[in-house]
Each structure stands twice: as C-alpha cells, then as structure tokens.
Amino acid sequence: MENKLFKTYIQLIIFLAYLLIIFGLCRIGFIIHSGILNSAITGTESSNSLPVLDIMQTLFSGFRYDGRLAAPAAFIFAVLYILFTFIKKAKTHAVIIFTSLISYIIIIASFVNDTYYSIFNDTFNIILLGVIYDDQSAIFHTAVNSDYNALPKILASIILTAIAVLIYYKIYKKIEKINKTISIKQAVPLGILIIYVLILITSSTFNLQGGDLSYIVKLPENTFLKKTAPGALHDLDRVYRAYKDIKGESFEKYAGGKSIQQVMKIYFGDKYTNQDNISSIMEQEILHNGKSNAKHIFLIIMESLSDYHLSEEFMNGGGIGNELTALANSNDGLKIPVFIQNGYGTIETMDMMITGLYGTYFPVSEMTGKIPCFDSSTGKIFKDLGYDTNFYYFGSSAWRKIGTYTVSQGFNKSYGMENIHNKQKSTWGIYDNEGFDFILENINKNHDKPTFNMILSASNHPPYDIDTKKYYNIDTEKIKNFLDTNYPKEKRFQGITPEILTVTEFSIKSAANFIKKTYAKYPDSIFFVTGDHFDRNYPNPNRKIFTSTSVPLIIYGSGVSEYKLKYAAGSHKDIVPTIAAMTAHKGYKFHSFGQSLVTDDKNKKINKERIAIGAQSIANGRYIFNGRGIEYFDSEEKNENDINTANIFWDKKKAGEALSWYIVNKGYNIPK
C-alpha cells in the first residue's frame, strides 16, 4: 500500500511536469516560427534585436495560464491511475491513451494557432466562430491546397505527439519499477502538500483564491508576445465563452449589465425620449430629390478588397488597383478618404449590408425562417422604391444560407454559383470576371426594369487558385519586385505572396471592367464599390489601426458629379443612406443606423469631425481609435478632448451592437 502511494505521488508529479513542458515547448515553437522567423515580434520597421525580457515574461506568464489546464488534467490522471491500479493489465494502456489524447490536443492546437496567426495576424479570436457556419468543404480544400501546409502540419503534430508520449512512457515505466515505500505518517502530509500545490497551480495566483488572469497576469508590452502568453487552448476557451454569451437569452448580459433603455440613451442620445419602439427612432426622411436618376444601382462588395490596395504605394510600386482608382478620380467618381469596415469577416459585414443591423456574432443568417424582414433591410428599402432587387454571390447560395437569407430580407431574386452555368470555377466560386459577365447578361435581358443589384465577389480568397494569365495581362514580375524591394522576405508578413496580390489585381480588374462596360451601355447606372473586410495580408506585420480596419468606398456613375463629400469618414452602415440620398425621391422614409456621406451643396465644407462607427474601430477625418489606442492621420492636429470623444463613440459602437442583438432576438418594441 505504501509503495503504491509513493508511486502515485511520483507519477502525478511527473505527469504534471510533462504537461507543463509540452505547453512550454509549444509556446516556444510558436514564438520561434511566427514571432522570429516570420518577424511578428520585430516587424519590418522595428529594431532587429529581440525583446529578450519580454520573451522571458511571456514564458512565465504562459506558465501561469498553462497551470490552469495542466493541474486539473493531473487530477484526472490521478483518478485514472488509482482506479486502474486494481486492473493492472489495463492501467498502462489507460494512462498512455489519456496522455496521448491530452498531448495531441495541446500540440495540434498550437499548430493550428500558428496557421491562424499567419492568416488573421492574431491568435484564436471570435472570428473562429465562422468555421461553425461556413462552407466546411471549401475550408478543407483551402487548407489542403494552399500555402498553409495543413497536411504536413497534421503529420508533424502526430509525429511530435508520438515522440513526446514515447519519452513519457519510458519515464512512466521506470517509476512503475520503483520499490521504495513511505509510511502513512509521511504519506498523508505529502499527499496534502501535493494537493495544495495542485490547487495553487490551478489558481495560478500563488494563493488559494483564483481570478481572471487577464487582470492578474502582467503581460509584456510587445503586441505579438502579449497575444502569445495565454496559449491556444485558453484562447479557444475564450472564444467559446464569447459564443455562449452571444447565444444567451439575456440582453443585459450581452449589453454588459445595461438595460435596453440605457443602451438606447447611449446610442441615440437626446433623440431618445422614452420611445417604446426602436424602429421609430431609426426612421429617416429624404429631404431632396436624388440627382442620380439611376435606373440601375450596383452595390459591389469585393472579397478582401482593402484600402491599401488602392494606395499610391501599391499602385505605383506594384501596378495594383489603378483602374478602380481612375474611376474614383474621374469626373463621375468619388472616394471616401476614411472608410472603415462594419464586420470582422465577410458574414458580419454582409449582415450590415443585408439587414442594416450591426454585426453581433449572432448567426443571423442561420435564423432564416425565424426572423422577420427587418425594417432596415436593404432589399426591403429598394423594393419599396420600385427596384427589382437582385442579390448575386459568386460562391454557393448554401454558404451561410446566403440565398434564402437575402430573399427573406427583401430581395426578389438571389443568384449563386449554381445559377451561373458554363463558367470557370475556383475553390470558393465562379471567377469574378465571369460572374460579372453573368450579371451584365441578366441586365441585358431585363434592362427595361429599374434594378438594384447587390454583388458579393469570391475570387480574392485563399487558396487563391485562379488562373489569372488566362484573362488579364497582369505584371506578376513587377508585383514580385515590389514586394522584395519594399518588404524583404525575412521581415515580411508570412501570409503575403506575389501570387496573392496577382489574384487581388485580377479581382480589381474584373470589377473595373464590369463597371466600364456596364456604364458605357447603360449610362443611367450608378456603382458603389467597397470591400467586405481588410484582407489580413498587408506585408508589414506591424499594422496601423487604419490599415487593418479600412476598406475603400468608391462611388461612380450617373449623377455623381452633382455631389461632393459631406463627411471625411464613413463605414458600411452609411452606404444605404448614401444610395438613398442620391437616388430616392423627396419625402421617402426609410430606416437606418447610418447617414448619407454626400451632399449636393457644393459650397458646404467637408466635415472632418463626424465620427464613423465600424466593427473594430471608430474614426473621423483626423484620427482612428480601436478601443485601446488613438492613431492620428498625417499632419492632423490633436485635441485634448479627442480621447474622451473617442471613448464616448466606442460605447456608442457597443450600444449599436447591443441594439441589433435586441432587434434580432426580441424585436423592436421596448417594454415600459
């Protein structure tokens, strides 16, 4: 008995140490690969010297996070070990199977987290929820047939798990052969001490009272290392908890303890005077007849089109984005100087574009059939204005139920790649140029009707398996030289390649060609072009807030020359009010959280102070704020009150999300 107790104690301690070592080695591997080899720690403009003290602090902080998982696993190990002591033949098998399972979870999670960082420039975050509802077959194909090396990583994780478990097995067997005994008087206090230590490691606070490590643990200043410290499994747990909060039935919980009345006051300010209906306070009226007179309206949402793609640096250096920029700079074009995204990913932005509601990570499209057509839905608004409303997606209509979702929200017809026959197809859908050709063919067939057309492209998406040479003469060598010259490979963000930018340029050319051909044939058309979200492939790993949360908005076509910009900054929520202001008749009433970005008063000075609300940032013409820090644009003045104003609008952003959650889950009526 005394011998069994002693071996139990030793096996428990060794198993705990083993897990902590596995966690630590995975963290070190992540730091070496993503942080050092792929320059996430230093970036392209920072010092080449490694922040050694920050790395040491990360490892120590990570040890505390790991203890919260390793110690409970050690408790389970102890229970298994003791139970199977009475079934000697099965004990070793049970221990090794349990150890293998835990080891593989830790190692594969680290590999996946490393890949995730190469895509999103972040460790596991709430964007991961998209995998639950996304096209799993396309995701699998992307992982297997891209530069993410999914299969080699899976194989490597299996091999590393086997090696780790083999080493542990040899140690385990040696301990099993120990014949040393301890007395009961020694065993009891030693057992109490071991349990006490396990509790301390579980609490991770060096006392018996635990707490939220986000507040307790001191994290390093380095952005990458700060994200690295918690570890993949803790980040996954955080995503899961966020998902539970979003899916929960309590509005107060989602709104951070605030009531619906308090949230209304934060968002609408003095406009809210105890109204009992949210829709009524969202109502807006067109004050002047639109000067566009557009018969055909096209709202083009380009997959992963980022504002930096249309910058002078990328146009002049890499020959990217010239054609769309030329349209924006023409007499019939406008481009918003600061335009920020209303979604972290495609579906979140599309929720805003389709329903007019802020993205909340609540899977609105999955509720199709259970939710009404919202008053602010884009299809509903333009159907009311007499347009034949069409939604086009160059991918599958089954993706996030986008086909039935859009029809339920007021679109007369929804087209997916299954409707676009005899066209070239990649992993995620029809090639952009061929998808646009299909739309023009549809307009030709039904040109007598006024049409509103929302379009979501698909080509500019991993695994970027597009045969671009077949369609456009894109200078791939110029793109490669541009990257190599301006962003040396050893310092460059690991996710970007010349091939990716080639596909981006292919997508841009496809949209620009469609606009030019359609406008030439139908001059009574107007086009709004934006991106769904930042493409996450900017070559510099050290990204400014604006770079990583901005997309373009270009307005081009009939009547645009009659307008000038009213505000310097906008976001996706402002697009529909802008279209309505330019095309609708005086007196028309509609519902929206946004504002028109244009005015027909050519003498009116552009307003640089109005703040636009996005998903990850808020901005005006002088600065951008992400909830943590403020970033001023070049040559813009700083005001002492800017940070206070920014925080007020950050709270308004969260209030808008909470109101949208309320509308989706509970409707428009507010209880008295």
3-state secondary structure of 559: coil
Under a CB-based contact definition with an 8 Å cutoff, are residues 510 and 432 in contact? yes
Under a CB-based contact definition with an 8 Å cutoff, are residues 338 and 372 in contact? no
The pair of three-digit structure tokens given for residue 4, joined into one six-digit string: 């069994």
For residue 134, name the pLDDT band (cuts at 50, 70, 90).
Answer: low
Q: pLDDT for 432-470, tens place per residue?
A: 999 999 999 999 998 889 999 999 999 998 888 888 877
pLDDT at 45 over 50: no
3-state secondary structure of 321: coil
Under a CB-based contact definition with an 8 Å cutoff, are residues 457 and 303 in contact? yes
For residue 141, name the pLDDT band (cuts at 50, 70, 90).
Answer: low
Q: What share of the chain has pLDDT > 90, as a percent?
A: 59
Residue that wins the pLDDT comparison between 251 and 150: 251
Under a CB-based contact definition with an 8 Å cutoff, are residues 509 and 472 in contact? yes
Mean pLDDT of 66-85: 86
pLDDT at position 46, please? 45
| pTM of the full structure | 0.77
What's the chain's average pLDDT? 88
pLDDT at position 386, please? 97
Under a CB-based contact definition with an 8 Å cutoff, are residues 393 and 402 in contact? yes
Cα separation, 105 vs 575, whole angstroms? 44
For residue 592, name the pLDDT band (cuts at 50, 70, 90).
Answer: very high
Q: Quick count: other Cβ atoms within 10 Å of Cβ 365?
A: 23
pLDDT at 201 over 90: no
Residue that wins the pLDDT comparison between 608 and 75: 608
- The DSSP bridge partners found for residue 481 are none
Element housing 475 (H / E): none
Q: Judging by beta carbons within 10 Å of its beta carbon (0-12, 13-18, 19+), is residue 648 exposed, middle or buried?
A: middle
Q: Tell me which of 135-144, 216-225, 483-492 is least confident.
A: 135-144
Query: Which architecture characterizes domain 289-598 according to CATH?
Result: 3-Layer(aba) Sandwich (3.40)
Give domain limits for the chain: 2-243, 289-598
Q: pLDDT for 481-521, tens place per residue?
A: 999 999 998 888 877 899 999 999 999 999 999 999 999 99
pLDDT at 87 over 80: no
pLDDT at position 44, please? 45
3-state secondary structure of 302: strand
For the chain, first and last CA: distance in Å? 69
User: Which positions ≥6 away from 80 have C-beta within 8 Å?
Assistant: 94, 95, 98
pLDDT at position 135, please? 52
pLDDT at 186 over 70: no
Mean pLDDT of 371-382: 97
Q: pLDDT for 249-268, tens place per residue?
A: 678 888 989 999 999 999 99
Nearest to 294 by CA among 450, 418, 483, 509: 450
Q: Tell me which of 186-200, 312-326, 416-430 is least confident.
A: 186-200
Cα separation, 374 vs 18, whole angstroms? 54
Q: What share of the chain has pLDDT > 70, as a percent?
A: 88
Rounded to a whole number of angstroms, the CA Rg of the chain reads 28
- The DSSP bridge partners found for residue 371 are none
pLDDT at position 39, please? 76
Cα separation, 504 vs 535, whole angstroms? 10
Q: Phi first, then psi: what are they for 253, rounded to 5°? A: -65, -45
pLDDT at position 288, please? 94
For residue 606, name the pLDDT band (cuts at 50, 70, 90).
Answer: very high
The pair of three-digit structure tokens given for residue 635, joined into one six-digit string: 């040559």
- The DSSP bridge partners found for residue 623 are 632
For residue 633, name the pLDDT band (cuts at 50, 70, 90).
Answer: very high
Alpha carbon distances (Å) from 607 to 62, 126, 452, 578? 47, 34, 29, 15
Under a CB-based contact definition with an 8 Å cutoff, are residues 293 and 449 in contact? no
pLDDT at 136 over 60: no
CA torsion sign for 556, 557, 560, 566 is: negative
Under a CB-based contact definition with an 8 Å cutoff, are residues 610 and 567 in contact? yes
Residue that wins the pLDDT comparison between 490 and 340: 340
pLDDT at 397 over 70: yes
pLDDT at position 611, please? 98
Cα separation, 354 vs 370, whole angstroms? 16
Q: Phi first, then psi: what are they for 372, rounded to 5°? A: -80, 175
Total residues belonging to the chain: 672
Q: Tell me which of 474-488, 489-503, 515-529, 652-666 is least confident.
A: 489-503
User: Which positions ≥6 away from 322 have C-beta within 8 Å?
Assistant: 315
Residue that wins the pLDDT comparison between 406 and 242: 406
Mean pLDDT of 274-303: 96
Cα separation, 34 vs 36, whole angstroms? 6
Q: pLDDT for 302-338, tens place per residue?
A: 999 999 999 999 999 999 999 999 999 999 999 999 9
Q: Tell me which of 414-418, 423-427, 598-602 is least confident.
A: 423-427
Q: Judging by beta carbons within 10 Å of its beta carbon (0-12, 13-18, 19+), is residue 246 exposed, middle or buried?
A: middle
The pair of three-digit structure tokens given for residue 251, joined into one six-digit string: 């509005």
